[in-house]
């Protein structure tokens, strides 16, 4: 399978980030790991793409973030932890519906089996 990156991800990255946070709060590297794992290695996502998407989601009120607790055991510097908001859950539901419609329409155009 060819790696999926760049233009193919544009427009879907934010919804995928929301979906990864549906599994629970996470810092950026964990979100990246979840997406890579869910994509079975075919997803080629860079931090430089993910973090701007997270900032846009936060600005839109779809996620919140906070620095992890200083007393929490950790290796390395403190990390910013992201959480899905109720508004983010609603957007994720809508994003999934949009994606399903997109797949049906493009699949029909390309003659892909249903």
Q: Report pLDDT digits (tens) over 20-59.
A: 999 999 999 999 999 999 988 788 788 888 999 999 999 9
Domain ranges for the chain, please list them: 6-110
Burial class (CB in 10 A: 0-12, 13-18, 19+), 56: middle
Per DSSP (E only), the strands in the chain are: 26-27, 63-67, 80-84
Is the domain spanning 6-110 CATH 1.25.10.10? The answer is no
Predicted pLDDT at 6: 54
How does residue 78 score in pLDDT terms, banded at 50, 70 and 90?
confident
How does residue 2 score in pLDDT terms, banded at 50, 70 and 90?
low
* Distance in angstroms (rounded) separating the CA atoms of residues 22 and 10: 20
pTM of the predicted protein model: 0.83
Structure tokens at 59: 């600005």
- For 4, what's the count of Cα atoms within 13 Å in the CB-facing half-sphere? 14
Q: How many residues does the chain have?
A: 114
């Amino acid at each position: 399978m060819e790696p999926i990156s760049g233009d193919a991800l544009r427009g879907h990255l934010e919804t995928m980030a929301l979906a990864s946070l549906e599994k629970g709060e996470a810092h950026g590297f964990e979100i990246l790991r979840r997406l890579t794992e869910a994509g079975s290695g075919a997803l080629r996502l860079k931090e430089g793409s993910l973090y701007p998407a997270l900032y846009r989601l936060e600005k839109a009120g779809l996620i919140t973030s906070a620095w992890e607790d200083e007393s929490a055991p950790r290796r390395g510097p403190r990390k910013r932890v992201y959480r899905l908001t109720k508004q983010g859950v609603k957007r994720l539901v809508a994003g999934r519906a949009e994606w399903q419609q997109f797949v049906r329409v493009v699949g029909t155009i390309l003659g892909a089996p249903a």
